[in-house]
Structure 1
């Protein structure tokens, strides 16, 4: 029997998750919490096998709660269940120690599998999250970093996309961030590279091997 603590700030969502889990064999909901702080208290009190954790909640962030639970209760796994699928949130959750990441809207079978997998120490991701992480890993490996050590990994990826001719909107869609976020990154890139225009940045980037496809062709 896998004991589960459900953490979400919306009562209707918690009720829905509890109802879903109650219908599954081998799953027992042992408690609920509506914030990161209450999740910590309940986790220490109940010591569940798995905590289903939302990310952005008032009264205590789910990422910080995940970090503290994973640190204090190594036998309790945290499975993130949220609507947020931006790369920064996913990576923050994994760095905090989450053992899985699913999006709200995941099917019953997917959630059931993820809970049992997390309880025995496996790591599990929803299909779109797994693809996003794979794309990010491949993209990071493909972009040569030696020529621009002053840039962060994300800035390097954005410079690569600029060198390929992508506009800000396309880059924002690719990384699932706001256009303003991309604009801020580009301003930082231009300042670090001491260039004033997009054209200058493209020439510099392509001269150093960026802006090419995975096969290495222009």
Structure 2
């Protein structure tokens, strides 16, 4: 059972997420918070598998809350649920330790799959979010990209598919290898590229 903590200052969004999650046999909502301060307290007390985190909240925002939660428990999985207007918060949230990003208008199936992927150590993110991150990085870049060196041919294949937004399962199917093997390659790629999470790895693959 995947234990989930919902954090959003809008009651209707939390209620909708709770109904969506609780309709699944493998997901349990163990708590809710409408601000970052309570999220930090509940995350420490309830030890959820996944924290679904809004970014814009009064008082302690989602970025600060994510940073505190990760600092207290480095293995915590914080999945950001964002909107198109939250681009300026994405990079700070990455730095804070968020494992993935989904859009609030994503289909229910994508939201649920994101929670499941986050719980298994994957880093789900909407392709739209990745495209926007890449576009911003492209505009900000002042020099040519650094070459990718020291990678095996298989790691290069995996890296390119990560950049396309594919999950570990999708990469395994595309390359006809096991999911565990894909996870090993992704871990190795993060180490070799100094990428703290999957989104940063995708940006690295784009030369950003």
Q: Shared fold (TM-score greater than 0.5)?
A: yes
1:12 counterpart residue number: 12
Tell me by how many angstroms 1:138 deviates.
Answer: 4.1
Query: In the alignment, does 2:114 pair up with 1:114?
Result: yes
1:56 counterpart residue number: 56
C-alpha RMSD of the superposition: 1.7
| TM-score normalised by structure 2 residue count | 0.64
The 3 A distance-change label for structure 1 pair 84 and 58 is: farther
CA distance in 2, matches of 1:86, 1:19: 25
Larger relative CO (CA 8 A, sep 6+): 1 or 2? 2
Tell me by how many angstroms 1:85 deviates.
Answer: 4.2
CA distance in 2, matches of 1:86, 1:31: 24
CA distance in 2, matches of 1:94, 1:30: 25
2:204 counterpart residue number: none
Query: Retained in 2: the 8 A contact 1:85–1:103?
Result: no
SS in 2 for 1:67: helix
Aligned residues: 144
The 3 A distance-change label for structure 1 pair 90 and 65 is: same
SS in 2 for 1:124: coil
Larger radius of gyration: 1
**1:89-146 alpha-carbon deviations (Å, 9 max, x no partner):** 11111111000111111111111111111112211211210111233344455x338x
Query: Retained in 2: the 8 A contact 1:35–1:59?
Result: yes
1:29 counterpart residue number: 29
Give unpaired runs (5+ residues) of structure 1.
Answer: 146-218
1:213 counterpart residue number: none
